Amino acid sequence: MNGPIPHGGDLTAARARFPGRSDWLDLSTGINPWPYPLPRLDAAAWTRLPDAGRTADTEQAADAFYGAPPGSALAVPGTQAALQLLPALRPPSRMAVVGFTYQEHARCWRRAGHAVTETPSLAEAVAAADVVVAVNPNNPDGTGLDPSDLLRARAALAARGGWLVVDEAFGETRPELGVAGACGAPGLIVLRSFGKFFGHAGIRLGFVLADADTQAGLRDALGPWAVSGPALELGRIALADRPWATGTRLRLRAAADRLAGLLSATGLRVVGGTPLFVLAATEDAAGLHERLMQHGIMVRRFDERPHWLRFGLPPDADAEQRLRACLAAYA
């Protein structure tokens, strides 16, 4: 696929289809509905260009939060930017994506001239390619790969000059799966999203954890002042707030359990997920998706998996009840 890929969160398209609705409940993204409380930011974050010191402070906070060796993190304006720039740092290669997952990876590598395949297992991907991308935990089914398997894959790829790219966009909810502690080793690149777990996707902040050469290539491609001052300041403060992160993990897990129970109780089959979303299956996923849209509820559907629907977390009890009532009436 070389054209635009559908994503969640497209309220503009939803409003165009249903112009009479204004009360949209957007459950189509895996973004925390209880974002980190916005602190008062230093006024200089808004009025001055983000200097090297401010950037370094945020990157150090990211190293500490993700458990990476010092100097591993490079701040980027959202991990999507890194997805689009990484393929240009290598000559045309064989690239494999593990499983059905976030499709921007394959699209970006293919557009840069690499030969792209999708393989069902990590071992098959390592055998078939020079560059392997694994999303861990996976989006949209939440499957987790063992970190020891990933690190063995990294070693095998690095031995022949290859890369293992691990997208840990939802990693904050499953910290036991993370491989950031091994960053700096040749051939390992870890992508971390800030906006999903901390709930501020609009500021466009992410991190690439990698060796110095990869960082240098990305810094050159990004150019100066790539990440805004307010994004850096908010990131630095939020990443240092460990009590908030610990409490939020517990809150998200409880909310995902409630959502899974709600979906099961109304006849859907829960087939996966993470603490930020639940994946469910039904034979009439297209019909249910349309009914939900008619009632102002957006969820994520997948053309390649026509029986699947991914549900983000309802933000409050009223939203849960609204979803329950719509599903019950459809059952």
Angle at 83 between CA 82 and CA 85, to 5 degrees: 60
Would you give per-residue pLDDT tens digits along the chain (331 residues)? 445 667 777 888 888 888 888 899 999 999 999 999 999 999 999 999 999 999 999 999 999 999 999 999 999 999 999 999 999 999 999 999 999 999 999 999 999 999 999 999 999 999 999 999 999 999 999 999 999 999 999 999 999 999 999 999 999 999 999 999 999 999 999 999 999 999 999 999 999 999 999 999 999 999 999 999 999 999 999 999 999 999 999 999 999 999 999 999 999 999 999 999 999 999 999 999 999 999 999 999 999 999 999 999 999 999 999 999 999 988 7
Sketch out the chain's domains with CATH numbers.
11-35+244-330 (3.90.1150.10), 44-240 (3.40.640.10)
Q: Tell me, what amino acid is at 17?
A: R
Which of 257, 298, 292, 297 lies closest to 278, judged by CA? 257
* The predicted structure's pLDDT at residue 187: 97
* The predicted structure's pLDDT at residue 92: 95
* The predicted structure's pLDDT at residue 5: 62
Locate 26 and state its tokens.
Answer: 């957007």
- What pTM value is reported for the model? 0.95
185 bridge partner residues:
183
HEC readout, the chain: CCCCCCCCCCHHHHHHHCCCCCCCEECCCCCCCCCCCCCCCCCHHHHCCCCHHHHHHHHHHHHHHHCCCCCCEEEECCHHHHHHHHHHHCCCCEEEEECCCCCHHHHHHHHCCCEEEEECCHHHHHHHCCEEEEECCCCCCCCCCCHHHHHHHHHHHHCCCCEEEEECCCHHHCHHHCCHHHECECCEEEEEECHHHHCCHHHCCEEEECCHHHHHHHHHHHCCCCCCHHHHHHHHHHHCCHHHHHHHHHHHHHHHHHHHHHHHHCCCEEEEEECCEEEEECCCHHHHHHHHHHCCEECEECCCCCCEEEEECCCCHHHHHHHHHHHHHHC
* The predicted structure's pLDDT at residue 306: 95
For residues 93 and 164, give the distance between their C-alpha atoms in angstroms, rounded to a whole number: 13
Question: Exposure string (b/e) for 47-80, b if CB count within 10 Å is 16 or more?
Answer: eeebeeebbeebbbbbbebbebeebbbbbbbbbb
* The predicted structure's pLDDT at residue 82: 96
Locate 276 and state its tokens.
Answer: 């930020």
Phi-psi label, residue 113: left if phi above 0, alpha if psi -120 to 50, beta otherwise: left
